[in-house]
């Protein structure tokens, strides 16, 4: 799994850096996403303000030059904030997978003339 930062609309930031399994990431999403989704009040003009996410690749831990990135590492897609419409571990993993697919499609489109 990559290095992930989640930013709530009120400035709260959580981050994790792990190459562990999806179980770890699901548990982390279950822990932090409820705190980063801001629910609107009757007087507000929104129902929920979802957090934004920044994902950066991590590299395999081994001797020698960096290899085996776990996230797209093209400079055209690294370091961006993305809307993240997730509220728990299950929806968080699905949204993260969809974000990865979207970035890979964007890079594939950029390569094809």
Contact (Cβ atoms closer than 8 angstroms) between residue 9 and residue 83: no
Predicted local distance difference test score (pLDDT) of residue 68: 72
Contact 69, 51 (CB under 8 A): no
pLDDT score for 31: 95
Q: Residue written as tokens 């400079």?
A: 75
pLDDT at 113: 64
pLDDT (0 to 100) of residue 96: 92
What confidence score (pLDDT) does residue 51 get? 94
- For 57-94, the three-class secondary structure string (H helix, E strand, C coil) is CCCCCCCCCCCCCCCCCCCCCCCCCEECCCCCHHHHHH
Per-10-residue mean pLDDT, the chain, length 113: 87 86 90 90 82 86 72 82 94 93 89 74
* Structure confidence at residue 63 (pLDDT): 76
Q: Please state the domain extents for the chain.
A: 3-111
111's enclosing H/E stretch is helix 89-111
Q: How high is the pLDDT of residue 21?
A: 75
């Amino acid at each position: 799994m990559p290095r992930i930062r989640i930013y709530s609309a009120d400035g709260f930031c959580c981050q994790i850096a792990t190459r562990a399994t999806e179980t770890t990431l699901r548990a982390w999403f279950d822990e932090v996403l409820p705190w980063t989704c801001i629910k609107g009040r009757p007087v507000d003009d929104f129902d929920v303000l979802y957090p934004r996410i920044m994902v950066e690749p991590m590299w395999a831990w081994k001797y020698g030059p960096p290899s085996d990135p776990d996230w797209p590492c093209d400079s055209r897609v690294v370091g961006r904030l993305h809307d993240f419409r997730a509220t728990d571990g299950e929806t968080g993993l699905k949204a993260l997978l969809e974000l990865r697919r979207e970035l890979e499609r964007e890079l594939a489109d950029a390569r094809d003339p």
